[in-house]
Structure 1
Amino acid sequence: MKEQFTTTVRVNGKGDAKNRAFADALSHVQAAVMKASPHILLRIEPQDVQVVHAQETTRKEAFLFLFLRRERRTYSVELDVTVNVTAINLDKVDFVTK
């Protein structure tokens, strides 16, 4: 009934700081695992994180095209996260009809 398996999911994240981009990407792990598995998930434990792609984008902006010039940075990451999943397989549960 209870099964353990290991899977790898690819997630993306964006943010205005490096740590926010990583946190955004890691917050999508649970949804990616749930979409890939038909089982009822009990526990998701990250085992390994690999950076596939990390990018910093800089753009310049100004108020009224002249005043208060500044540079804005945005970060985006793409991660491969290997997770150990504990789940309940509903195919192995015997339901009794009344």
Structure 2
Amino acid sequence: MKEQFTTTVRVKGKGEAKARAFADALNQVQAAVMKASPQILLRIEPQDVEVVHAQETARKEAFLFLFLRRVRRTYSVELDVTVNVTAINLDKVDFVTK
């Protein structure tokens, strides 16, 4: 009834800081695993994280093209996360009809 398996999911994240981009990507792991598996998930444990793509984008801004000049940075990451999943297989559960 209870099964364990290992899978790898690819997630993407964006943010104003490096940590925010990684946090955004890691928050999407659960949804990606749930979409890929029709089973009821009990536990999702990340085992390994591999950075596929990491990018920093810088954009110059100014108020009225002259004042308050600044550089805004945006970070984006793409990760391959290997997770160990514990799930309940509903096909192996015997339901009794009354």
CA deviation string 1:25-54 (max 9, x = no partner): 000000000000000000000000000000
Gaps of 5+ in 1: none
Work out the CA distance in 1 between the residues paired with 2:23 and 2:64. 34
- Which runs of structure 1 show a deviation greater than 2 angstroms over 4 or more consecutive aligned residues? none
Q: Percent identity at matched positions?
A: 91
CA deviation string 1:37-91 (max 9, x = no partner): 0000000000000000000000000001110000000000000000000000000
TM-score (norm 1): 0.99
Provide the secondary structure at the position in 1 that maps to 2:97.
Answer: coil
Gaps of 5+ in 2: none
Provide the secondary structure at the position in 1 that maps to 2:94.
Answer: coil
